[in-house]
Amino acid sequence: MISSNQTKTVASNYRGTDKLIVGIGLAVITFWLFAQTTLNIAPTMSADLKISHNLNNIAVSITALFSGIFIVVAGGLADRIGRVKMTNIGLALSVVGSFLIVISPSGTAVFLLAGRILQGLSAACIMPATLALMQAYFNGKERQRALSFWSIGSWGGSGLCSLFGGFIASTIGWRWIFILSILVAVISYFLLRGTPESKVVTTDKKPFDWTGLIAFIIAMVALNIVIGQGSSLGWLSPAVLTGGAVFIISATAFFRIETKGTNSFVDLTLFKNKTFSGATLSNFLLNGAAGTLLVSLALVQQEAGLSSLQSGLVTVGYLVAILSTIRVGEKLLQKMGPRKPMLLGCFITGMGILLTSFTFLLAKEYIVVSFVGFTLFGVGLGFYATPSTDAALSNVPGDKAGSASGIYKMASSLGAAFGVAISAAIFYGLSKMEGTPPMAAIFMGRTDNIEVRYAAGIGLLFNVFMVVVAIVAIMITVPKTDKSNI
């Protein structure tokens, strides 16, 4: 790690402007608003490109996976080579990735997967670099205002992406989502032009931990492929067993490298702090609940006949709730400390996801119940977000705040990647199940789609289970009083 007396931040007397805020906001939504639309338009993409559900599910989850893998590395590189430069690299990757998706031909997933990987790398570059620029060029209330716009770009984009993607896909075609993403990235680049560079000069010449990074990449990619392809290839097939073995070997190598090395790219010593560990684990699990969107929206499109636009409307309450309750979570944190609002947020989130698992209802009833469920989902995340971040970052030493922030954001992206992949694997895997599923008698209406509805219910209950684990983790690790563990 780099100590404070070894570094010097290089930045001019430049003060941030509204132009910079808008440019950064547009850079952020290239991921949250555009790349994340695949959670809703996945069935449309799969049908148009004539690729299997399993390949399509990998394409959906792999963006968050690569964002999570590289976000810590990209944050460190942004400090060294410049935050503006790293943001521009991210925008360029976003443009190329979106272009590959736009020109993806039918019958192959090569262009789609390559484009989605580049979108993940783009997000890894943009998110930490733009946050650092906000920190460098805004002060006091102006910084709070700038960070609010950054949060609107991320949280607002994630809440709007299903509706936005559904509207574009239903009107002018899903490829236009990524054409618009290219245009937004280009506009962001021109708005950021002229911004003075901000970076850290350090006397620390230690080599980067490439072996640890390579072991981590192999482990995460192997696990994601095993999850995504297991149901189609067979869980005991040679390919899946080989992938599992690769994951175990590379994950073991990663932990050995990181615990014995002196310049680890992931500082595992931070997890000795129980509060940080609990906040990061619960953050991983709550972001993993993004699988709820994929399964529930795929179900209403596939079995209730809703278009991607109509299914996106089911999540409007999620968007409104999450934007209107983030500040409420902040106030609860100030009044109660982090533990109670984190638990309350998880409980409300779990109740909301539980409602979306009522797939035994008639279609019209399910749409209404899931609308309420998604609204509660948004309320819960709004209550949870700020207290969780505060619990994670206020309980680590100041000289490790950067590493802690990177690991916390890495947990967000990896949680979303694996949550979506596992939920999709359960849904599409059980959908192929032969014979009458358990509790078939409780399913109302049509009987020819009980298998699919049952599979969706189990996939959604898996997300409830993740929230329950998050609640247990918080109860065990986060202290009842707002007291630092340092």
Last residue of a domain, one of 192, 213, 233: 192
| CA atoms within 13 A of residue 312's CA, in its CB half-sphere | 25
Q: Same domain for 178 and 307?
A: no
User: Would you say 355 and 383 are in contact if contact means Cβ atoms under 8 Å apart?
Assistant: no
Query: Among residues 386, 380, 378, which one has the least CA distance to residue 318?
Result: 378
Judge residue 187's burial from the number of C-beta atoms within 10 Å of its C-beta, 0-12 exposed, 13-18 middle, 19 or more buried.
middle
Query: Among residues 75, 8, 405, 22, which one has the least CA distance to residue 195?
Result: 22
pLDDT score of 344 more than 90: yes
How much is the average pLDDT of 77-98? Answer: 92
Q: Residue 270 — φ and ψ, nearest 5°?
A: -60, -30
pLDDT tens figures, 90-111: 999 999 999 999 999 999 999 9
Q: How many helices (H) and strands (E) does the chain have?
A: 18, 2
Q: Same domain for 184 and 280?
A: no
pLDDT of residue 5: 40
Left (φ > 0), alpha (ψ -120 to 50) or beta: where does 478 sit?
beta
- Give Cα 416 to chain centroid, integer Å: 4
pLDDT of residue 52: 87
In a domain, 136, yes or no: yes
144 CB-near residues (< 8 Å, 6+ apart)? none
**Following DSSP, what letter does each residue of 414-443 receive, concatenated?**
HHHHHHHHHHHHHHHHHHT--SPPTTGGG-
Model confidence at 483, in pLDDT bands (50, 70, 90)? very low
Left (φ > 0), alpha (ψ -120 to 50) or beta: where does 151 sit?
alpha
Last residue of a domain, one of 192, 222, 254: 192
Model confidence at 38, in pLDDT bands (50, 70, 90)? very high
Highest mean pLDDT of the ranges 98-112, 139-153, 423-437: 98-112
pLDDT of residue 357: 96
C-alpha 198/C-alpha 234 separation (Å) is 50
Q: Same domain for 303 and 417?
A: yes
In a domain, 187, yes or no: yes
In a domain, 253, yes or no: no
Q: Same domain for 155 and 286?
A: no
Q: Same domain for 316 and 461?
A: yes
- Domains: count for the chain: 2
C-alpha 471/C-alpha 384 separation (Å) is 11
* Of 200 and 299, the one with more pLDDT: 299
pLDDT tens figures, 188-235: 999 999 899 887 766 566 777 889 889 999 999 999 888 888 877 788
Q: Same domain for 188 and 272?
A: no
pLDDT score of 10 more than 60: no
Quick one: the chain helix, strand, coil %, rounded to 5?
80, 0, 20
The structure tokens 């109860």 sit at 475
- Give Cα 410 to chain centroid, integer Å: 9
Q: Same domain for 187 and 284?
A: no
Alpha helices in 138-273 (DSSP H): 140-151, 157-171, 175-192, 210-233, 238-260
Q: Whole-structure pTM over 0.75, yes or no?
A: yes
Q: Same domain for 278 and 175?
A: no
In a domain, 207, yes or no: no
C-alpha 254/C-alpha 264 separation (Å) is 10
Q: Provide the pairing of β-strand 7-10 with 199-202.
A: antiparallel
Q: Same domain for 158 and 280?
A: no
pLDDT of residue 215: 93
In a domain, 208, yes or no: no
In a domain, 428, yes or no: yes
Q: Same domain for 286 and 420?
A: yes
In a domain, 160, yes or no: yes
Q: Same domain for 274 and 182?
A: no
pLDDT score of 484 more than 50: no
172 CB-near residues (< 8 Å, 6+ apart)? none
Lowest mean pLDDT among 180-184, 339-343, 404-408, 451-455: 404-408
Judge residue 201's burial from the number of C-beta atoms within 10 Å of its C-beta, 0-12 exposed, 13-18 middle, 19 or more buried.
exposed
212 CB-near residues (< 8 Å, 6+ apart)? 254, 257, 258, 261, 264, 265, 266
Looking at every residue in the chain, the average pLDDT score rounds to 88
pLDDT of residue 165: 93
Give the domain CATH number at 310. Answer: 1.20.1250.20
In a domain, 206, yes or no: no
Please give the structure tokens belonging to residue 190.
Answer: 């021109």
C-alpha 358/C-alpha 237 separation (Å) is 33
Model confidence at 466, in pLDDT bands (50, 70, 90)? very high
Last residue of a domain, one of 168, 192, 216: 192
Q: Same domain for 40 and 130?
A: yes
Please give the structure tokens belonging to residue 84.
Answer: 């503006």
Q: Provide the percentage of residues in the chain whose pLDDT is more than 70.
A: 93
Domain that holds residue 181: 14-192
pLDDT tens figures, 362-413: 999 999 999 999 999 999 998 998 889 888 877 777 667 667 878 888 998 9
pLDDT of residue 1: 38
pLDDT of residue 431: 87
User: Would you say 428 and 455 are in contact if contact means Cβ atoms under 8 Å apart?
Assistant: yes
Query: Among residues 388, 284, 399, which one has the least CA distance to residue 7?
Result: 399
Question: Per-residue b/e over 362-372, b at no fewer than 16 CB within 10 Å?
Answer: ebeebbebbbe
